[in-house]
Amino acid sequence: MTDLTLEGVSKLYEETAALREVDLSVADGEFFTLVGPSGCGKTTTLRTIAGFEEPTSGSVRFDGEEMTGVPPEDRDVGVVFQNYALFPHMTVAENVGYGLRFRDPPAGTSRKERVSELLELVDLAGMGERQPSQLSGGQQQRVSLARALAPEPSLLLLDEPMSALDARLRETLRRQVKRIQSELEITTVYVTHDQAEALAISDRVAVMHAGNVEQVGTPKEIYRRPATRFVAEFVGDNNVFEGEVLERSGDEIRVRISSSEFVLPDSSGVGDAGTGLESGDRLTFCIRPEALTPTAETNRFPVTVETSEFLGESVRVHGRWNDTPIVLRLEEPPATEELTVGFAPNGAHVVEFDVDFDAEFE
Amino acid sequence: MDRRTFIRTVSGGTAGIALAGCLTQDDDENGNGNGDENGNGNGEDDENGNGNDNGNETDNGDEEEQEDEPDLEGTLRVATYTSMVDDEEAAGTWLKDAFEEEYPDATIDWTVPEEGTSHYIQQANQGVDIDADVFLGLNVDDLVLIDDNTDESLFRSVDRDRLEHVDRIRDDPSVEFDDPHDRVLPYDTGYISLVYDENEVDDPETFDALTDEEYEGTLITQNAQQSDPGQAFLLWTIDAYGEDGYLDYWEELLDNDVRIIDDWSSAYSAYENEERPMVVSYSTDQVYTNRFDGDMSRSQIGFLEEQGYANPEGMAIFEDSEQVDLANAFLDFVLSNEAQAEIAVRNVQFPAVADEYVDLDEDYAEYAHEPPEAVSLTYDELSGNLDEWVDDWGQLVASR
Amino acid sequence: MTTGPLGSGSPRGRGRGYDWLERHALQLTALLTAAVLGVMLYLPVGVVFAEALFLDGRLSLAHFREVLTDPFYFGVLASVFADPLAVGSHYASLVDWILAGFPSFRMGLFGFTAYQAALSTVASLALGLPAAYILANYEFRGRRTIRSLTILPFVLPGIMVAVGFYAMFGQAGTLNTILGVVGLGPFRFIERNPLAIVIVAHAFYNAPLIARITVAAWESVDVRALETARSLGASPRRAFADVVVPQLLPAITTGALLTFIFTFMTFPIVLALGGLQLATVEVWVYARIQRLDFAEAATLAILETIVSLALTYAYLRYESAQAGMSRAATPPPRERLFPDLRTVLEPRRLAIVGYGVVALVVFVGPMASMVIGSVTDGSGFTLRHYEFLVQRQAEGATYQTLPWPAIRNSLLFGVATLFVAMPMGVVISVLTTRSGRGRDQSGRWATVIDTLAMLPLAVSGIVFGIGLLRGLVFGIPLVGGWRLQVTGVVAIVAAHAVAAYPFVTRNVSPLLADLDPSLVESARSLGASRYRALLDVELPLVASGIVAGAAFAFAISIGEFSSTVILASGGDTYTMPVAVERYLGRRNGPAIAMGTVLLVITGLSFVVVDRVGGRFERD
């Protein structure tokens, strides 16, 4: 099996940098997801791994072996694209079997057997003679997956494979991909802009932004302890506050926002780097909607309700406190336009602080 | 000479890429040849060059010695124009057969360079082996073009002593080349005239008449920049109105809506389809009309000012030909009685020799008309002027 | 799942050498293409172009200054070129001109050449687009054959077109004969407006080109987009304008560009039909070459080339901006042209019938008149011209031009050209569209390369011919006293391929650029080399462009005259157009008969090429 390492990978297009010194390592058999908004560099990273792009600097290694300069056909990777990229002039079986023209099927299996084996794996048994245009989008994507897997690649790369499909199909296919991946134990790099998908499917996630990796971690780490303000805002719903440190005492930090004061636990995300924090510094923290409740006794403030969305098991409420947008997760829709909410100190997570933070945010 | 033959064989190969040495010692007499271009710096070249020179001189010596018994063996490469070999009754076919019958050890190789004489001017200027011994089909303006564009001496002077039939040539401006170097012998001549449809127009008879209202929009001529009859017609007007007057005359012609079509074929095609009732063509037009069962009333010959512009065709031997004996024999053969008759009839031209040295069909005389007076500009008149005349004329026409 | 990154599934067992070859096939083809272009195009053209840049052995722009400031060449612009900094006075004369109510002004040779080229382009579009519309949208008997035959005018030697036009439109021509039957005419079609007839002749050559390229694009229109537009409430006309037109525009613009360049460089047709009063720049290039004034000829030719390449560059920038994502071609279904008698009277069908009559007159007329000309002489019907061909074949001497070798060589060179020009054209398409599409900075450079690749169309044919003679037939002097000579069959095919490959590129590039790049990337990640991906995936998907390009390549080779005749240099490697020219004598009959043979043989070949090629198309 294969592990994957990217070290200091940069990619420049004309003047602009698509990737800046990206370091990543993906373990053998791991399901690893690159997530971020469009233009963040996640697809470029995937294309660099596949060999479609050469990095401007840095190194890509499979099992420690340098891949720079190795053409895609020699990298032994399977790639699934957003738009399926099935060869329209070939049947489904010919598509799936295409890679076997260049690499032998596993020992003891004929090419034909391998093709039907793969079609079975993606629940398309018997569809081999169809033309790709006769299949639905979801079926086409499964053909594409079967095609990528047929030559037993050591690395599976999926580039937004679900984004052309409707929501229900995505979920089904997502589970199918995950099932196949864990069955085959194949090292997988998955690119998506959908953070929920990323959290749902991955062993580990890298959040990318503007050519940088903002944070790498398990879905839980990414969700609970976002490393940067960007991650906090990008992954899941979140409430982000920015204030001025009033006092740091014991295991608490007191922060002032407008005329209100809040108490945060000293340990919440500040870590060792936070030791220099003192009064007068700017600080950004976030609170997940589910931690912000009308019943909390501490850190209370009023919210003007603007809209609410009924989600079934809960209600998502968008509102405003002064200029700060607020999102809440309640069990019932709010009865009044004004309500007061609060959070427990340990419900907050500090994501950013800056000794010289200017009034940029206001 | 073996070396040169060898080189020629190699470079003559048509398969793909052929490499050929370029030790062309073009000028036996002048000795200034192309050594400047190719021989600089390379000792080996010089050596070979010298060797060749010596060889040539020996050869020349041989020629002189053997004057009584000329070398009439081998291949004679004769450059000419397409219709000489490709016409329905191509004169070239007859010439080759008859000549080879007369000289059983000789072979004629026809070569038809696309660019005519300019092919050889460029070869000479670039120091490339001239790949022909004789050029058959020179006009006076070819000589002018040659002398204006190359310092090389392309053709040798006629060796009149060795040509039996040379004195038979007519003493007549219609076959005169007036070449100061006496390089060319005429073998036939033709006259540019008008061909008109007598159902539509009367013979205009004079140049001035062509500018009258009566003849407005009636005449087709050819582009003097690229067509022989077109150029001849232009030169005819220069002969008539002088260097200073011809452009004024052409202004009037253009005002009278003359059409100037690129070449003879298109112009004649336009005439045949009755676009206009008059075209500049050859005075032998009726020979073809007769041959192709055409309508004689549409093939009337008009000699303006009772003249026809003579366009003699000539032949010359290339300076560095190694088959001078055979070439001379060929030239002499072309001037023989039988050949003159055949060429005249097949090319539909007039013989270059005086009447008593050629027997032409009665029929032929009936349809091939000769003008009362032949005019033409001489080498001296054309030399240094031709380019400018044609260019000024072209600019006048194209600017309208 | 147990092997390392390079281990899993070893490449299937072919020889190492084969593997290497396949892996580098594209680069090798590119190198070979560059070598062929270097020897067969850049070298000969460079030899002549260099003459423009030197005066008395020193680098100089004097020749250009002379031409640019000569009102004969540049009309009113000459004074601007003469004194480019005198903006004030130029501006004043412009204002004067506008105030005088835009009186006609002196265009100069270049101005007139561009003017007639623009008119010819408009006329070719006007005649070509309806043909494309009908061929793409209606089903009728012989549709495929007519589509195949559309490029036929392309192969006709200029002199034959002139002869055909006189025979069709002359006062005693076919058209007047037909009109005479119903008591009309005779009309002086040619005499009345020579410029108009030249433009019609240009349309005769180029409208089929526009039609052929546009039909290929029309057949790859995605009908689903059209249906979507209709379902969103667009009227048929609106849906056509919003959906179909944008998909056709690149093809139409390509056709228009090629037409403009061709007619900008036009030569024999203008003089043969219009006369010297309508002279173009190329006429002067020819006149200068005749007089061996290479410096001025080269200067004029370079300026022509600059104009053509500048247009090409502008177009290619536009084309690359158009390149989109793959569209699965589901062309609109074809309607029957005349399902029943009553529909003939529908306005749309009447218009089609009207166009059919115009096409009959403009395209079929001259060719048919030529055929008639081949079987008539002064006294009516005759077979003597064909007897001449038969007799020449039977009895002709080896140094004479024989019909059969001409036919054989034409077909042989045509097929060989097709096989050489296709890889050349495709490799240039691949190199320019791939990097042009990628996000690499090479986009602009790809356009520059693509533009330069169009050089064969943008260089004066006369200059090219003289360059071949001086460069390759006479030989290029090398060190050590050797000369490099390139003549004969290989050289002819190479020269034809050089002239033909731009058509392959222009037909293939737009389709290739439209393909989804992830198709190739998928293939490569599955183990296919770049070359295999091209062969297995891209080429089958752009087959309609390849077939169209192949047909053009074949046509170019068949019709080519000047380089063939120069490179044949005396051998028996002449082709049909060369034979036509050599049979021209004091009566045109034999040449017209040979021209008719050329017409028939090429017509049959096109049908075969298209039928064979059609198997690879998906339609």
Q: pTM here?
A: 0.83
Instruction: Give the strand pairing for A252-257 and A239-249.
Output: antiparallel
CB B353 within 8 A of CB B170: yes
List Cα–Cα distances, A24 to A49, A104, C490, in angstroms.
Answer: 11, 31, 56
Domain co-membership, B381 together with B290: yes
Supply the pLDDT for residue C125.
96
Please report whether residue B369 resides in a domain: no
Q: Residue C570's pLDDT band (boundaries 50, 70, 90)?
A: low
Higher pLDDT, A19 or C85: A19
Give A117's contacts in chain C (Cβ within 8 Å): none
CB C265 within 8 A of CB C202: no
Which helix (H) or strand (E) segment holds residue C377: the answer is strand C376-377
Please report whether residue B89 resides in a domain: yes
Mark whether B and A touch (3+ CB pairs within 8 Å).
Answer: no
3-state secondary structure (DSSP) of residue C489: helix
Task: Please report the number of interchain residue pairs, chain A to chain C, with beta-carbon separation below 8 angstroms.
Answer: 128
Residue C81 to residue C102: CA distance in whole angstroms: 21
Q: In DSSP terms, which residues pair with B77 in a beta bridge?
A: B109
Domain co-membership, B21 together with B110: no
Residue A332 to residue A314: CA distance in whole angstroms: 7
Give yes or no for C583 touching B (CB within 8 A): yes
Supply the pLDDT for residue B21.
29
The beta-carbon neighbor of B14 closest among C194, C573, C591 is C573
Nearest to A147 by CA among A136, A133, A158, A160: A158
Contact C3 A13 (CB under 8 A): no
3-state secondary structure (DSSP) of residue A85: coil
Give C170's contacts in chain B (Cβ within 8 Å): 270, 272-275
Q: Residue C198's pLDDT band (boundaries 50, 70, 90)?
A: very high
Domain co-membership, B239 together with B383: yes
Hey, what are C317's tokens?
């920038």
Residue A295 to residue A302: CA distance in whole angstroms: 13
Domain co-membership, B141 together with B241: no
The beta-carbon neighbor of A98 closest among C7, C328, C526 is C526
Q: Residue B17's pLDDT band (boundaries 50, 70, 90)?
A: very low
Q: Give the HSE-up count for residue C564: Cα atoms under 13 Å, Cβ half-sphere.
A: 26
Residue A267 to residue A287: CA distance in whole angstroms: 15
Contact B21 C481 (CB under 8 A): yes
Please report whether residue B56 resides in a domain: yes
Residue A205 to residue A217: CA distance in whole angstroms: 5
Which of B69, B84, B119 is where one domain is finished? B69
Find which of B272, B276, B289, B296 to mutate to test the C interface (most C CBs within 10 Å of its CB): B272
pLDDT, tens digit (0-9, with 9 covering 90-100), for C498-554: 999 999 998 888 778 778 888 999 999 999 988 999 999 989 888 878 888 888 899
CA distance C240 to chain B (A): 45
The beta-carbon neighbor of A104 closest among C2, C10, C439 is C10
Supply the pLDDT for residue C617.
58
Residue B342 to residue A31: CA distance in whole angstroms: 96
CA distance C380 to chain B (A): 9
Phi then psi dihedrals of residue B163, to 5 deg: -110, 115
CB B393 within 8 A of CB B234: yes
Please report whether residue B351 resides in a domain: yes
| Number of domains making up chain B | 3
State mean pLDDT over C360-383: 90
Find which of A56, A70, A154 to mutate to test the C interface (most C CBs within 10 Å of its CB): A154
> Among C178-192, C321-335, C548-562, whose mean pLDDT is lowest?
C321-335
Which chain C residue has its CA at the smallest distance from B225's CA? Answer: C287
State mean pLDDT over C445-471: 86
Of A96-110, B186-200, C22-36, where does the model show the most confidence? B186-200
Residue C412 has pLDDT above 90, yes or no: yes
Contacts of residue B363, defined as CB under 8 A and 6 or more positions apart, other chains included, come to none
Which helix (H) or strand (E) segment holds residue C371: the answer is helix C365-374
Domain co-membership, B64 together with B78: no
Contact C521 A79 (CB under 8 A): yes
The beta-carbon neighbor of A102 closest among C1, C3, C11 is C11
Give yes or no for B395 touching C (CB within 8 A): yes
- Ranges of chain A whose pLDDT falls below 70: 1, 267-277, 354-362
Which chain B residue has its CA at the smallest distance from C582's CA? Answer: B82
Please report whether residue B90 resides in a domain: yes
CB B277 within 8 A of CB B197: yes
Residue C335 to residue C343: CA distance in whole angstroms: 12
Supply the pLDDT for residue C480.
75
Give yes or no for B11 touching C (CB within 8 A): yes
Angle between helices A167-184 and A137-149 (to 10 degrees): 20
Q: Residue C322's pLDDT band (boundaries 50, 70, 90)?
A: low
List Cα–Cα distances, C276 to B254, B271, C168, C279, in angstroms.
Answer: 11, 17, 21, 5
Domain co-membership, B107 together with B185: yes
Q: What is the ipTM of this complex?
A: 0.85
State mean pLDDT over C594-616: 84
Which of B9, B44, B69 is where one domain is finished? B69
Supply the pLDDT for residue C330.
60
Contact B128 C475 (CB under 8 A): yes
Which chain C residue has its CA at the smallest distance from B24's CA? Answer: C481
Which chain C residue has its CA at the smallest distance from A95's CA? Answer: C523
Hey, what are A332's tokens?
């019932």
Angle between helices B337-347 and B91-102 (to 10 degrees): 160
Residue C548 to residue C610: CA distance in whole angstroms: 8
Domain co-membership, B298 together with B209: yes
Contact C2 A78 (CB under 8 A): no
Supply the pLDDT for residue B326.
95
Domain co-membership, B140 together with B179: yes
Give yes or no for A154 touching C (CB within 8 A): yes
Supply the pLDDT for residue C323.
53
Please report whether residue B210 resides in a domain: yes
- What is the DSSP secondary-structure string of C198-225? HHHHHHHHHHHHHHHHHHHHHTT--HHH
User: Which of the other chains make 3 or more beta carbon contacts under 8 angstroms with chain B?
Assistant: C
Residue C535 to residue C512: CA distance in whole angstroms: 13
Residue B394 has pLDDT above 80, yes or no: yes
Could you tell me where the beta strands, DSSP code E, fall in chain A? 4-13, 16-26, 31-35, 57-62, 65-66, 77-80, 155-159, 187-192, 204-209, 212-217, 239-249, 252-257, 260-265, 282-287, 301-310, 315-321, 324-330, 338-341, 348-354
Q: Which CATH number covers residue B304? A: 3.40.190.10
Please report whether residue B370 resides in a domain: no
Residue B3 has pLDDT above 80, yes or no: no
Task: Please report the number of interchain residue pairs, chain B to chain C, with beta-carbon separation below 8 angstroms.
Answer: 215
CA distance A73 to chain C (A): 4
Chain mean position to CA B121: 15
Domain co-membership, B391 together with B264: yes
Find which of A62, A87, A100 to mutate to test the C interface (most C CBs within 10 Å of its CB): A87
Residue B225 to residue B141: CA distance in whole angstroms: 12
Residue B306 to residue C370: CA distance in whole angstroms: 37
Give yes or no for B19 touching C (CB within 8 A): yes
Contact C477 B83 (CB under 8 A): no
Give yes or no for B23 touching C (CB within 8 A): yes
The beta-carbon neighbor of A99 closest among C2, C526, C541 is C526
Give yes or no for A104 touching C (CB within 8 A): yes
CA distance C169 to chain B (A): 9
pLDDT, tens digit (0-9, with 9 covering 90-100), for B47-103: 343 433 443 433 443 444 445 677 888 999 999 998 899 888 889 999 999 999 999
Supply the pLDDT for residue A297.
85
Sign for the pseudo-dihedral over CA of B377, B383, B389, B390: positive
Higher pLDDT, B15 or A323: A323
Contact A75 C440 (CB under 8 A): no
Q: How far apart are the first and last CA of chain A?
A: 51
Supply the pLDDT for residue B157.
94
pLDDT, tens digit (0-9, with 9 covering 90-100), for B324-358: 999 999 999 999 999 999 999 998 899 999 989 99
Give yes or no for B364 touching C (CB within 8 A): no
Residue B258 to residue B262: CA distance in whole angstroms: 13
State mean pLDDT over C562-590: 84
Residues 216-275 of B with CB under 8 A from C: 217, 223, 225-226, 254, 259-263, 265-266, 268-270, 272-275
Residue B28 has pLDDT above 70, yes or no: no
Domain co-membership, B125 together with B259: no
B388: containing domain: 191-310+375-398
Higher pLDDT, C129 or C230: C129
Find which of A73, A82, A144 to mutate to test the C interface (most C CBs within 10 Å of its CB): A73
> Among A184-198, C139-153, C309-323, whose mean pLDDT is lowest?
C309-323
Contact B266 C470 (CB under 8 A): no
Please report whether residue B174 resides in a domain: yes
Supply the pLDDT for residue B29.
37
Supply the pLDDT for residue A267.
59
Domain co-membership, B266 together with B383: yes
Mark whether A and C touch (3+ CB pairs within 8 Å).
Answer: yes
Give C115's contacts in chain B (Cβ within 8 Å): none
State mean pLDDT over C283-290: 88
CA distance A294 to chain C (A): 48
Supply the pLDDT for residue C587.
81
CA distance A207 to chain C (A): 23
State mean pLDDT over C314-319: 79
Q: Residue C442's pLDDT band (boundaries 50, 70, 90)?
A: low
Across the beta sheet with A77-80, the strand order is A77-80, A155-159, A187-192, A31-35, A204-209, A212-217
The beta-carbon neighbor of A185 closest among C1, C4, C527 is C1
Of A323-327, B309-313, C13-17, C160-164, where does the model show the most confidence? B309-313
Residue C253 to residue C243: CA distance in whole angstroms: 16
User: Which of the other chains make 3 or more beta carbon contacts under 8 angstroms with chain C?
Assistant: A, B
Which chain A residue has its CA at the smallest distance from C2's CA? Answer: A1
CA distance A145 to chain C (A): 11
CA distance C428 to chain B (A): 25
The beta-carbon neighbor of C518 closest among A83, A147, A152 is A83
State mean pLDDT over B1-19: 34
Average pLDDT, chain C: 84
Average pLDDT, chain B: 83
Domain co-membership, B168 together with B262: no
- Please give the domain boundaries of chain A with CATH numbers for all domains: 4-232 (3.40.50.300), 238-354 (2.40.50.140)
Contact C399 B85 (CB under 8 A): yes
Residues 38-97 of B with CB under 8 A from C: 38-39, 42, 44-45, 82-83, 85-88, 90, 92-93, 96
